[in-house]
């Protein structure tokens, strides 16, 4: 109530407010809403039958399966890592802590193309380990393992950077109390720690999954574009588009568009939960680390 | 917070720390270390020749120029969007708020093909623009459009929480002391937002320099004209020129590193200036 009164007194004249809002919304419409609508409009350019044909085609199904496989491996591994890193970095003080935080963020600082390149340098036919591994029957680059590795790399920081600040903000009192009362390590984690971090963890999983399923640059470099074998959905979209089969490309792209919409909805729901639990934890009143924010993904 | 006491009470530090360091090394550090290591195998002359090849230099100029243009556009309009979302209420505000993250959620390849289709000479937006003689797709302007799309959430999401946290009492005090709304804006609000604004700009810029998926479709990829640096890396890799690809990658890493350092310096300067 007081806030609203204040806001009225402290705001710009109505005409200014109205103009700014219109300009901002026009920008959002032009750059975000029109492209999103266009994806679905182009996907149905040849009607429902054309759409269905593009989706059920064997190569598209194979691409969908590989995308699900890559995300299905990458996300759980990154969850394990994120929780372990959250416990070690969020609950303990040690030297080199800040360095570790910076290193965890590295995959965000690197161009997706470079993320793929490093795995080609390691495992490619002219890479370091590549010749030896290929001789022994392990094909990594231009095969599924390379796709999975690149996917793990690009989605690596998401869970950790959500979980670490929450672990830190919650503090250690509750765990210490449980410990003193005789709780074992696993009991401690599942009964005390997990309930505190679950929304942040879920938030990290949503972001990591979106990136894992949608990654293009890194996966493109390591895939070799073998149809039905090393194509993920985004790569399949590229191939169809470059073959001037735009309608099929957009039909497959619309699946990824749906993924994006679901991601945004889940994100908005979980975000309010994260904020609520952060406020509940705020009595621990440890200053939140500057890099912790839902921004800067 | 006594470190020893804490360690004695809570279990699992050794185990979780071990997992963290091992996984980080295997997935991130060792793979990234191959970049400088591979560069070492080149002679300096070879390295220099690769990274100063005119076609490569043209790609740096394009990547940096388009990224700068896109980050600047986002710095202006992203700030407006953040302001509107944080301060004003209007129908659909929550939906717009959620939509701002679309570029994070929508795979870059999808963004690439849809922007290309929209801005092609026959597209929804390209056709009217073509009437005025403006071509967007397959030009540096098109690359900038894709980079604006990719960078928008960085500016909005960095500024929005800072705008929300501005203490209204300061503005109130200034107003009651006779400051005009413009005075409050330029003397109080903007200086307080400046560090976050710069950070958002830097994040959008850094992301744009490395961006690949959304750009390759709309750029047309003509050597010397619309070929971005990440694409050159891919081209070299496809020709099995690992050394050439690595050399360009090292330069790109160095560019983003220098940029981030410079911006960090600027930011701490801004913070010192704002602090009383």
Residue B268's pLDDT is: 72
User: How far, in Å, CA of A240 to CA of A235, rounded?
Assistant: 9
Q: Are residues A34 and A59 in the same domain?
A: no
pLDDT at A287 over 80: no
Lowest mean pLDDT across A50-54, A280-284, B30-34: A280-284
DSSP assignment of A186-214: HHHIIIIIHHHHHHHHHHHHHHHHHHHHH
pLDDT at A225 over 80: no
Task: Tell me the C-alpha to C-alpha distance, in Å, between residue A101 and each of A119, B157, B214, B250.
Answer: 23, 21, 29, 22
- Judge contact between B114 and A35, C-beta under 8 A: yes
Q: Name the band, by pLDDT with cuts 50, 70 and 90, for residue A294.
A: very low
Contact B88 A265 (CB under 8 A): no
Ramachandran sector of residue A142 (left: φ over 0; alpha: ψ -120 to 50; beta: rest)? left
- Judge contact between B267 and B199, C-beta under 8 A: yes
Average pLDDT (B193-206) is 89
User: How far, in Å, CA of B16 to CA of A198, rounded?
Assistant: 18
Lowest mean pLDDT across A80-94, B67-81, B191-205: B191-205
Query: What's the number of domains chain A is made of?
Result: 2
Q: What is the domain extent for residue A31?
A: 1-43
pLDDT at A282 over 80: no
Residue, of B273 and B132, whose pLDDT is higher: B132
Q: Are residues A38 and A66 in the same domain?
A: no
CATH (domain of A125): 1.10.3720.10
Nearest CA in chain B to A123: B31
DSSP assignment of A125-144: TTSSSHHHHHHTT---TTSH
Residue A173's pLDDT is: 87
Average pLDDT (A160-181) is 90
Q: Are residues A183 and A272 in the same domain?
A: yes
Q: Are residues A74 and A7 in the same domain?
A: no
Residue, of B3 and A141, whose pLDDT is higher: A141
Judging contacts by C-beta atoms under 8 Å, the chain B residues touching residue A192 are none
pLDDT at A56 over 60: yes
User: How far, in Å, CA of A108 to CA of A218, rounded?
Assistant: 12
Torsion of CA A245, A251, A253, A259, to 10 degrees: -170
Question: What residues contact A275, with CB distance under 8 A and at least 6 apart?
Answer: none
- Of all residues in chain B, the percent with pLDDT exceeding 70 is 93
Average pLDDT (A207-234) is 91
pLDDT at A293 over 50: no
- Of all residues in chain A, the percent with pLDDT exceeding 70 is 91
Whether residue A8 lies inside any domain: the answer is yes
Contact A112 B213 (CB under 8 A): yes
pLDDT at A199 over 90: yes
Residue, of B271 and B216, whose pLDDT is higher: B216
- Judge contact between A219 and B212, C-beta under 8 A: no
Whether residue A145 lies inside any domain: the answer is yes
- Judge contact between B13 and A88, C-beta under 8 A: yes
Q: Are residues A133 and A168 in the same domain?
A: yes
User: How far, in Å, CA of A54 to CA of A240, rounded?
Assistant: 10
User: How far, in Å, CA of A210 to CA of B94, rounded?
Assistant: 21
Lowest mean pLDDT across A49-58, A121-130, B6-15, B55-64: B6-15
Q: Are residues A57 and A29 in the same domain?
A: no
Place of tokens 């200014």: A16
Residue A8's pLDDT is: 53
Contact B31 A260 (CB under 8 A): no
Whether residue A292 lies inside any domain: the answer is no
- Of all residues in chain A, the percent with pLDDT exceeding 90 is 62
User: How far, in Å, CA of B189 to CA of B79, rounded?
Assistant: 12
B44-274: CATH, from 3.10.129.10, 3.40.50.300, 3.40.640.10, 1.10.3720.10 = 1.10.3720.10
Rounded mean pLDDT of chain A?
88
Average pLDDT (B218-232) is 92
Rounded mean pLDDT of chain B?
89
Residue A290's pLDDT is: 42
pLDDT at A59 over 70: yes
Residue A62's pLDDT is: 94
Residue B194's pLDDT is: 87
User: How far, in Å, CA of B230 to CA of B32, rounded?
Assistant: 16
Q: What share of chain A is helix, strand, coil (3-state, %, to 5)?
A: 80, 0, 20
Judging contacts by C-beta atoms under 8 Å, the chain B residues touching residue A222 are none
A188 to chain B, closest Cα gap in Å:
9
Q: What is the ipTM of this complex?
A: 0.90
Contact B99 A267 (CB under 8 A): no
* Helix-helix angle A58-91:A233-242, to 10 degrees: 140
Question: What residues contact B113, with CB distance under 8 A and at least 6 apart?
Answer: A237, A238, A241, A246, A249, A250, A253, B217
Task: Tell me the C-alpha to C-alpha distance, in Å, between residue B197 and each of A78, A293, B66, B160.
Answer: 31, 15, 19, 10
Q: Where are the domains of chain B?
A: 44-274
> Could you tell me how many residues make up chain B?
276
Q: Name the band, by pLDDT with cuts 50, 70 and 90, for residue A3.
A: low
Task: Tell me the C-alpha to C-alpha distance, in Å, between residue B247 and each of A150, A217, B47, B51.
Answer: 20, 18, 6, 7
DSSP letter (8 states) at residue B228 = -
Whether residue A293 lies inside any domain: the answer is no
DSSP letter (8 states) at residue B212 = -
Give the model confidence (pLDDT) of B131-188 as tens digits.
999 999 999 999 999 999 999 999 999 999 989 988 888 888 888 888 888 888 888 8
Judging contacts by C-beta atoms under 8 Å, the chain B residues touching residue A125 are 240
Highest mean pLDDT among A126-140, A180-194, B174-188, B206-220 belongs to B206-220
pLDDT at A96 over 80: yes
B258 interfaces chain A, CB cutoff of 8 Å = no
In a mutational test of the B interface, the residue from A29, A114, A274 whose CB has the highest number of chain B CBs within 10 Å is A114
Give the model confidence (pLDDT) of A101-154 as tens digits.
888 988 988 899 999 999 999 998 888 888 888 888 888 888 999 999 999 999
User: How far, in Å, CA of B250 to CA of B36, rounded?
Assistant: 7
Q: Are residues A187 and A206 in the same domain?
A: yes
Contact A216 B125 (CB under 8 A): no
Q: Are residues A252 and A177 in the same domain?
A: yes
Task: Using a cut of 0.80, tell me whether the model's pTM lies above it.
Answer: yes
List all residues of chain A from 275 to 294 with a beta carbon under 8 Å from chain B. 293-294
Residue A296's pLDDT is: 38
For residue B94, count CB atoms less than 10 angstroms from its CB and return exposed for 0-12, middle for 13-18, buried for 19 or more.
Answer: exposed
CA angle B36, B41, B43 (to 5 degrees): 105
Residue B196's pLDDT is: 87
User: How far, in Å, CA of B211 to CA of A112, rounded?
Assistant: 7
* Other beta carbons less than 10 A from residue B198's beta carbon: 18
Residue B276's pLDDT is: 46
């Amino acid at each position: 109530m007081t806030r609203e009164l204040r806001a009225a007194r402290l705001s710009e004249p109505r005409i200014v407010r109205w103009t700014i809002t219109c300009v901002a919304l026009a920008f959002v419409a032009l750059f975000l809403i029109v492209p999103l609508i266009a994806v679905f409009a182009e996907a149905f350019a040849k009607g429902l039958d054309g759409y269905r044909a593009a989706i059920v085609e064997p190569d598209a199904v194979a691409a969908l399966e590989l995308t699900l496989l890559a995300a299905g491996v990458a996300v759980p591994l990154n969850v394990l890592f994120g929780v372990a890193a959250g416990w070690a970095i969020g609950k303990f003080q040690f030297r080199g802590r800040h360095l570790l935080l910076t290193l965890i963020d590295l995959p965000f600082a690197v161009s997706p193309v470079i993320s793929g390149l490093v795995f080609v340098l390691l495992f490619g036919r002219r890479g370091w380990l590549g010749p030896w591994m290929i001789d022994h029957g392990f094909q990594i680059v231009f095969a599924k393992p390379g796709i999975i590795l690149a996917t793990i790399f690009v989605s690596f920081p998401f869970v950790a950077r959500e979980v670490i600040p929450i672990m830190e903000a919650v503090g250690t009192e509750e765990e210490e109390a449980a410990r003193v009362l005789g709780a074992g390590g696993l009991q401690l984690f599942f009964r005390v720690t997990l309930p505190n971090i679950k929304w942040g963890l879920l938030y990290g999983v949503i972001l990591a999954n979106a990136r894992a399923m949608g990654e293009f640059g890194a996966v493109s470099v390591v895939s070799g574009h073998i149809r039905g074998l090393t194509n993920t959905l985004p790569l399949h979209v590229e191939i169809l588009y470059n073959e001037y089969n735009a309608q099929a490309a957009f039909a497959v792209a619309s699946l990824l568009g749906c993924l994006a919409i679901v991601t945004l909805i889940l994100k908005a729901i979980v975000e309010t939960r994260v904020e609520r639990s952060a406020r509940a934890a705020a009595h621990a009143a440890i200053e939140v680390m500057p890099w912790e924010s839902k921004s800067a993904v | 917070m006594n470190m020893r006491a804490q360690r004695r009470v809570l279990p699992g530090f050794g185990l979780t720390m071990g997992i963290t360091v091992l996984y980080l090394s295997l997935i991130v550090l060792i793979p990234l270390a191959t970049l400088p290591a591979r560069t070492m195998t080149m002679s300096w002359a070879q390295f220099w020749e690769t990274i100063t090849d005119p076609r490569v230099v043209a790609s740096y100029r394009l990547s940096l120029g388009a990224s700068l243009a896109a980050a600047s556009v986002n710095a202006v309009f992203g700030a407006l969007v953040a302001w509107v979302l944080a301060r004003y209420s209007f129908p659909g505000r929550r939906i717009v708020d959620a939509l701002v993250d679309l570029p994070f959620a929508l795979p870059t390849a999808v963004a690439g093909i849809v922007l290309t289709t929209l801005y092609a000479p026959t597209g929804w937006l390209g056709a009217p623009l073509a009437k005025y003689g403006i071509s967007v797709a397959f030009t540096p302007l098109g690359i900038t459009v894709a980079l604006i799309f990719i960078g928008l959430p960085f500016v909005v999401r960095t500024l929005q929480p800072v705008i929300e946290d501005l203490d209204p009492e300061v503005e109130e005090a200034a107003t009651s002391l006779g400051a005009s709304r413009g005075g409050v804006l330029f003397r109080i609000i903007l200086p307080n937002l400046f560090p976050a604004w710069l950070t958002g700009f830097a994040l959008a810029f850094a992301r744009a320099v490395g961006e690949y998926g959304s750009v390759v479709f709309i750029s047309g990829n003509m050597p010397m004209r619309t070929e971005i640096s990440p694409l050159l890396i891919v081209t070299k890799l496809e020709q099995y020129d690992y050394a050439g690809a690595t050399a360009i990658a090292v330069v790109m890493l160095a560019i983003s590193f220098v940029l981030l350092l410079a911006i960090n310096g600027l930011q701490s300067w801004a913070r010192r200036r704002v602090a009383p």
